[in-house]
């Protein structure tokens, strides 16, 4: 029987990890590592992927969730990056259409703007051109009257025009998860809760990697011909584990988002606002049933494992909203939740993190360790391709890769399913033939793509987990059996977003999830209580900014 992508089949995978000599071991299950693992496995390399926490638990679940061409990079004249990003956006929009969907943006231009609307529009034309007109739709210029009709709460005084254009919104954690699943389906050994502790080069040219298995509480030794360090903000730490003198590749910068209910800021598109403090842009993003507002961009030197939102971050974002939406009553009290992530940017000397390039770098050292850092979610596939090319080049005759490309890879949720074509019909069909409310049906189809059927087929009933009806109880057992969920946090934050959308951060709904986990994994009452307590601490940590000055 094929192994499931599940902790229920974990022991066998750990044995594989122990017994195999891998062509490549990828460290870090964020989008970068998961993308590399799926690419390497597709090209026939014996591949392992280890993640110390859950898939996407690092930065890759804390982005702005935009798959974008990078309009602001035009200002920095990074045309190559824009071209690459728009090409990847077009590809993902077509191939993973349940997870990468078009989102309209409104970019208002006021009389205080350093450029005229005419100049900005030239930039928009360039943006469309560099995308080779493969946007969802080309941009439009709106008059102040048209803006007032579409976004009535947006500040009108001094408004000269607005640009209306499309980028895409995604589910970053699920894009990561589906890449890890794809790697698994292609034969890679893919394990979460496995932390690389040390790396040592062997005389035969392989690396011996010591990994801590937090699930079984044991040490495992892994052998690999090449190791890819894709540890995002932890890249420097992994380099230290290898005892390298060159340990500072990454400059982590913190980005915060706050989440408010739709009624507070009922926008009809994502809206670009400028911070009155430093002129940086922030986005007001319609995100599922809520509005996400972000982001900040500040240097960070705190703990990589406990990145928190501060009161100062919140004030910065609220100030930007008040400037763009003076009539909206968006105060601290309206905030349901926040998230804070670290950009693993390539270290440079610029004073301002906002100006640090978003380009990626791949650094190969002579002992078979390849480090990849920087870049962004949007370009993960291209970055992975380049990195695997490097791995193959370095393996030389040891590898006989097949000539294929992840341009041909179908992620699990896109197997025989195109949301663009089938999505609406499928949602209507679920709503018409079951008791499932529209919002849950929409989430089911956008979260799982083609896999929505498996959840429905495996369900005894269609009971809902949360009071607002976004998630089915059946999703919990599916996530345990088929999505490698190993704790309540995995489910509430990354398989679904109940933590972010619900006022109690899912403390109530989470009780049922804990019970299912206890049954599935045979947890003792003490272990189950530990899980509850940990989640409670996470909820408190998410609110800790309220106590700050
Ligand atoms: P991570 O996602 O952090 O993955 C690294 C993984 O390595 C982690 O899961 C970690 O647990 C694991 N790890 C660490 N040490 C070890 C170890 N010793 N052993 C095993 N595993 C280990 N990009 C876009 O394209 N669009 C956006 O809208 C966007 N918005 C952003 C907004 C913010 C606020 C931020 C911070 C970033 C944003 N980005 C965006 C950038 C993008 O999110 C990141 O470039 C990307 O997610 C980085 O992925 P990664 O895999 O390199 O890092």
In tens, the pLDDT along 315-366 reads 999 999 999 999 998 999 999 999 999 999 988 777 776 667 778 999 998 7
Give the number of other Cβ atoms within 10 Å of residue 228's Cβ. Answer: 30
Asked if residue 506 lies in contact with residue 466, where contact means CB atoms within 8 angstroms, the answer is yes
State if residue 59 touches ligand 1 by the CB under 6 angstroms criterion.
Answer: yes
Tell me the CATH architecture of domain 101-170+251-354: 2-Layer Sandwich (3.30)
Residue extents of the structural domains in the chain: 7-59+173-249+357-408, 101-170+251-354, 416-547
Residue with tokens 């940990």: 534
Please choose from 377, 379, 382, 486 the residue to mutate so as to test ligand 1's pocket, defined by most ligand atoms within 8 A of CB. Answer: 377
CA distance 543 to 531: 19
State if residue 61 touches ligand 1 by the CB under 6 angstroms criterion.
Answer: no
- 292 CA distance to ligand 1 middle (Å): 18
Tell me the pLDDT band of 68, cut-offs 50, 70 and 90. Answer: very high
CA distance 447 to 3: 23
State if residue 344 touches ligand 1 by the CB under 6 angstroms criterion.
Answer: yes
What pLDDT was estimated at residue 246?
61
- Tell me the CATH number of domain 7-59+173-249+357-408, given options 3.40.50.2300, 1.10.260.40, 3.50.50.60, 3.40.250.10: 3.50.50.60
Please choose from 50, 63, 300 the residue to mutate so as to test ligand 1's pocket, defined by most ligand atoms within 8 A of CB. Answer: 63
* Ligand 1 atom nearest residue 378's Cα: 25
DSSP state of 3: P
pLDDT over 80 at 244, yes or no: no
Please choose from 231, 256, 317, 359 the residue to mutate so as to test ligand 1's pocket, defined by most ligand atoms within 8 A of CB. Answer: 231
Range 416-547 has CATH code 1.10.8.870: yes
DSSP state of 493: I
Q: Considering the entire predicted model, what is its pTM?
A: 0.97
CA distance 502 to 522: 28
pLDDT over 60 at 549, yes or no: no
* Ligand 1 atom nearest residue 339's Cα: 34
Mean pLDDT of the chain: 94
Residue with tokens 């990354």: 494
Tell me the pLDDT band of 75, cut-offs 50, 70 and 90. Answer: confident
- 162 CA distance to ligand 1 middle (Å): 32
pLDDT over 80 at 548, yes or no: no
Q: How far apart are the first and last CA of the chain?
A: 57
What pLDDT was estimated at residue 134?
82
Residue with tokens 């189809």: 445
What pLDDT was estimated at residue 365?
86
pLDDT over 90 at 143, yes or no: yes
What pLDDT was estimated at residue 121?
93
What would you report as the CA-atom Rg of the chain, rounded to the nearest whole angstrom? 23
CA distance 254 to 316: 13
- 237 CA distance to ligand 1 middle (Å): 14
Bond before 56 cis per omega within 30 degrees: no
pLDDT tens, position by position, 158-191: 999 999 999 999 999 999 999 999 999 999 999 9
* Ligand 1 atom nearest residue 31's Cα: 51
What pLDDT was estimated at residue 3?
81
* Ligand 1 atom nearest residue 54's Cα: 9
pLDDT over 90 at 93, yes or no: yes
From the list 452, 435, 433, the residue with the least C-alpha distance to 443 is: 452
Q: How many residues does the chain have?
A: 549
Lowest-pLDDT choice from 105-109, 243-247, 312-316, 442-446:
243-247
In 88-217, beta strands by DSSP E: 100-110, 140-142, 159-170, 189-191, 194-201, 207-213
C-alpha neighbours within 13 Å on the C-beta side of residue 137: 11
Helix axes 474-482, 507-521, angle to 10 degrees: 50
By alpha-carbon position, which residue is closest to atom 44 of ligand 1? 376
- 384 CA distance to ligand 1 middle (Å): 14
What pLDDT was estimated at residue 114?
86
State if residue 272 touches ligand 1 by the CB under 6 angstroms criterion.
Answer: no
Contacts of 68 (CB under 8 A, 6+ apart): 85, 89, 167, 168, 378
Strands 140-142 vs 159-170: parallel, antiparallel or unpaired? antiparallel
pLDDT tens, position by position, 388-423: 999 999 999 999 899 999 999 999 999 999 999 999
State if residue 378 touches ligand 1 by the CB under 6 angstroms criterion.
Answer: yes
Contacts of 457 (CB under 8 A, 6+ apart): none
Q: Which two tokens stand for residue 199?
A: 């790396």
Between 82 and 357, the more confident residue is 82
Mapping DSSP to helix (H, G, I), strand (E, B) and coil, where does residue 290 land?
A: strand
What pLDDT was estimated at residue 354?
65
Residue 274 dihedral angles phi and psi, to the nearest 5°: -105, 140
């Amino acid at each position: 029987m094929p192994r499931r992508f599940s902790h229920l089949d974990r022991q066998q995978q750990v044995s594989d990890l122990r017994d195999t000599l891998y062509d490549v071991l990828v460290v870090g299950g964020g989008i970068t590592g998961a993308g590399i693992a799926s690419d390497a496995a597709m090209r026939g390399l014996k591949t392992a992927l280890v993640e110390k926490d859950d898939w996407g638990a690092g930065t890759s679940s804390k982005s702005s969730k935009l798959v974008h061409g990078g309009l602001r990079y035009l200002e920095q004249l990074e045309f190559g990056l824009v071209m690459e990003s728009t090409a990847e956006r077009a590809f993902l929009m077509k191939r993973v259409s349940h997870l990468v969907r078009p989102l309209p943006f409104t970019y208002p231009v006021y009389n205080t703007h350093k450029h005229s609307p005419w100049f900005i529009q030239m930039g928009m034309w360039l943006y469309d051109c560099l995308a080779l007109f493969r946007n969802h739709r080309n941009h439009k210029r709106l008059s102040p009257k048209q803006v007032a009709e579409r976004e009535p709460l947006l500040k009108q005084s001094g408004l000269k025009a607005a640009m209306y254009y499309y980028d895409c919104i995604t589910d970053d954690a699920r894009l990561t998860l589906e890449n890890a699943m794809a790697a698994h389906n292609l034969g890679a050994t893919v394990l979460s809760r496995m932390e690389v502790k040390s790396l040592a080069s062997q005389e035969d040219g392989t690396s011996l990697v010591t990994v801590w298995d937090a699930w079984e509480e044991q040490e495992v030794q892994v052998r690999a011909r090449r190791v890819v360090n894709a540890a995002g903000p932890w890249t420097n730490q992994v380099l230290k584990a290898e005892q390298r003198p060159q340990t500072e590749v990454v400059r982590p910068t913190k980005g915060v988002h706050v989440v408010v209910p739709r009624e507070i800021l009922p926008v009809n598109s994502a809206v670009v606002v400028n911070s009155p403090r430093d002129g940086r842009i922030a986005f007001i993003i319609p995100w599922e049933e809520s509005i996400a507002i972000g982001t900040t961009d500040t240097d960070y030197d705190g703990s990589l494992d406990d990145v928190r939102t501060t009161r100062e971050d919140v004030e910065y974002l609220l100030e930007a909203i008040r400037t763009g939406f003076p009539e909206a009553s968006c105060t601290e009290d309206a905030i349901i939740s926040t998230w804070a992530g670290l950009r693993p940017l390539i270290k440079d000397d610029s004073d301002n993190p906002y100006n640090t390039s978003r380009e990626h770098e791949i650094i190969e050292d002579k002992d078979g360790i390849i480090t990849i850092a920087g870049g962004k979610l949007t370009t993960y596939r291209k970055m992975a391709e380049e990195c695997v090319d490097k791995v193959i080049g370095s393996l030389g005759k040891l590898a006989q890769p097949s000539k294929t490309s992840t341009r041909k890879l179908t992620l699990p949720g896109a197997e025989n399913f195109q949301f663009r074509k089938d999505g609406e019909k499928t949602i209507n069909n679920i709503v018409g033939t079951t008791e499932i409310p529209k919002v849950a049906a929409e989430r089911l189809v956008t979260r799982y793509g083609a896999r929505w059927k498996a959840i429905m087929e495996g369900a005894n009933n269609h009971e809902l987990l949360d009071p607002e009806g976004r998630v089915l109880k059946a999703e919990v057992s599916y996530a345990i059996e088929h999505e490698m969920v190993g704790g309540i946090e995995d489910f509430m934050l990354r398989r679904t977003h109940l933590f972010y959308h619900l006022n109690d951060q899912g403390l109530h709904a989470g009780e049922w999830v804990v019970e299912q986990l206890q049954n599935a994994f045979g947890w003792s009452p003490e272990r189950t209580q530990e899980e509850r307590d940990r989640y409670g601490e996470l909820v408190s940590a998410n609110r800790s900014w309220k106590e700050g000055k």
